[in-house]
């Protein structure tokens, strides 16, 4: 897998509305030693619930860290990435 060759240790996946991009990436990398962090992107108030549901709709057995939604979620995700990289 190219991500392993490039020594990728964490992926930050941002999903808007009903896009389940973080869960798809985490499912694909389920057996890889790569952390996946999901953030729901919010552009308007109506997107809040859809963004939240898009990052928490994860099938059993798929390791995915959810950092939240909106700017607060993105900030939390960046802090988690820094922490993961410092641990390496």
Give the per-residue pLDDT at 10: 95
Share of the chain above pLDDT 70, in %: 90
The CATH number of whichever domain residue 61 belongs to comes to 3.40.50.1970
- CB-CB contact of 62 with 27 (8 Å): yes
How many distinct structural domains can be found in the chain?
A: 1
Q: Which domain holds residue 17?
A: 2-87
Q: pTM of the predicted model, to two decimals?
A: 0.83
Closest by CA position to 54, among listed 85, 17, 12, 79: 17
The residue with tokens 């030693």 is 33
Counting as low any pLDDT under 70, the low residues of the chain are 1, 17-19, 45-47
pLDDT value, residue 37: 93
pLDDT at position 84: 94
User: Among 63, 67, 61, which residue's Cα sits nearest to residue 15?
Assistant: 67
């Amino acid at each position: 897998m190219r991500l392993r060759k490039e020594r990728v240790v964490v992926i930050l996946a941002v999903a808007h509305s009903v896009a389940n991009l973080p869960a798809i990436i985490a499912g694909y990398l389920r057996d890889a030693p790569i952390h996946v962090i999901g953030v729901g992107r919010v552009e308007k108030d109506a997107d809040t619930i859809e963004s939240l549901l898009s990052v928490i709709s994860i099938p059993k057995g798929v390791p995915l860290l959810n950092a939240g939604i909106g700017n607060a979620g993105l900030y939390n995700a960046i802090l988690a990435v820094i922490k993961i990289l410092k641990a390496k």
